[in-house]
Each structure stands twice: as structure tokens, then as C-alpha cells.
């Protein structure tokens, strides 16, 4: 894979994992459970931002910034859309503080903030050390295959022997009606 592809996979994975963990932390901190389509939409929308922030090389600070953007994006999206389905998110606004001059409750209160911070820390650790673990696992598998290839007996290479083709025997075809068949000559002499 090219570095561009690795960066895209890393950013997309960071956005997806951060959004799912943020949704779980949001629910465990007392907020309503988000709709699965909202979680998927926020993960998809957060992927370009996370890919831009994640960088070419693995760095805990870059992973943390991508996770933070995904967490904030999820929480803002969920806080704004909380009124769209009143039955699913009853009591959700109790965990948010309204922005001055607006009626939308976007800023999380203390327990919600702690839940999201713990989720962000867990996500950064999982993504950073998870990628390092996958890379080490890949290197180990490659070295095992290299050792197996060196130890495995190789099949013999068939040697091509140049043979001189023999000329085909000349076939004599008799096209006569006269038969040369008869009794053996010793039998003739005895009579």
C-alpha cells in the first residue's frame, strides 16, 4: 500500500472507532443512545478531517487530535439532532449546557465531559498501540514465511536432455494381389 492509502485507512479507522466509542461513552455518561445511522453518518463525515489530521507517520499527538475532532463532531451532531426523535432521547438535554443566546444545548456538563475525555483517552491508546501491534504482527508473519521458505525442501528442477530423434523405419507396403504364402520348404521336400 502506498503512504497515501495507509494514511486514508488510518484516518478512516480513527474516525470510525472514535465515533463508536464516543457514542458508547455518551450513552454510559447518561445521555440517550444515538441512532445507528447517526453514528455511521458522523463516522463518514469525520473521516476526511481525521485523515487530514492523522499524518503520514504514526504519532500519538496526531491520533489524539483526530480522535478529539471525531468526538467533538459526534457530540455536537448528537446534541443538535437530539430533538429530532424525542422518544429516543428523553432527558438528553439535562446533560448539556445551552450556549448563551441559543436554545440548543451543545456544551456537555461535567459527567458528560468526563465520559467523553475517558473515551477519547481509551480510543487514542487503542488506536496507537493497536496499529503498532498490527505492524509487529505483520512483521512476525513475514519473517515466519521467510524462514519456512528457507527451510522447505525445494522440488528438483527437471533437466532437459537433448535427444537425437531416430528416423522412422521405412514401411513397405505391398499393393499386389499375389500372395507369397505357402507351406514351409521342409515340408515340401519330405513329400
Summarised one tens digit per residue, pLDDT across range 97-115 is 444 554 444 566 677 778 7
Predicted local distance difference test score (pLDDT) of residue 107: 60
Residue with cell 479507522: 13
- The CA distance from 162 to 165, in Å, is 9
Query: What pairs with residue 107 in β-bridges?
Result: 97
Residue 58 CB neighbour total at 10 angstroms: 15
For the chain, give the mean pLDDT: 76
181 SS3 class: coil
Predicted confidence band at 139 (pLDDT cuts at 50, 70, 90)? very high
Report field, pTM of the whole predicted structure over 0.75? no
Predicted local distance difference test score (pLDDT) of residue 177: 64
More confident site: 148 or 83: 148
Amino acid at each position: 500500500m502506498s503512504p497515501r492509502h495507509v494514511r486514508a485507512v488510518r484516518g478512516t479507522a480513527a474516525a470510525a472507532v472514535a465515533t463508536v466509542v464516543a457514542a458508547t461513552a455518551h450513552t454510559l455518561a447518561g445521555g440517550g443512545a444515538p441512532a445507528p445511522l447517526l453514528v455511521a453518518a458522523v463516522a463518514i463525515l469525520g473521516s476526511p478531517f481525521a485523515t487530514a489530521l492523522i499524518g503520514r507517520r504514526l504519532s500519538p499527538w496526531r491520533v489524539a487530535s483526530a480522535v478529539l475532532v471525531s468526538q467533538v463532531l459526534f457530540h455536537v451532531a448528537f446534541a443538535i439532532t437530539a430533538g429530532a426523535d424525542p422518544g429516543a432521547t428523553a432527558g438528553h438535554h439535562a446533560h448539556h449546557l445551552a450556549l448563551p443566546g441559543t436554545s440548543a444545548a451543545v456544551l456537555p456538563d461535567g459527567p458528560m465531559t468526563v465520559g467523553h475525555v475517558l473515551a477519547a483517552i481509551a480510543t487514542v491508546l487503542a488506536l496507537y498501540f493497536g496499529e503498532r501491534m498490527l505492524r509487529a504482527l505483520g512483521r512476525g508473519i513475514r519473517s515466519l514465511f521467510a524462514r519456512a521458505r528457507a527451510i522447505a525442501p525445494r522440488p528438483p528442477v527437471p533437466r532437459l536432455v537433448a535427444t537425437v530423434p531416430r528416423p522412422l523405419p521405412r514401411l513397405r507396403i505391398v499393393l499386389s494381389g499375389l500372395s507369397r504364402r505357402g507351406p514351409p520348404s521342409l515340408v515340401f521336400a519330405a513329400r
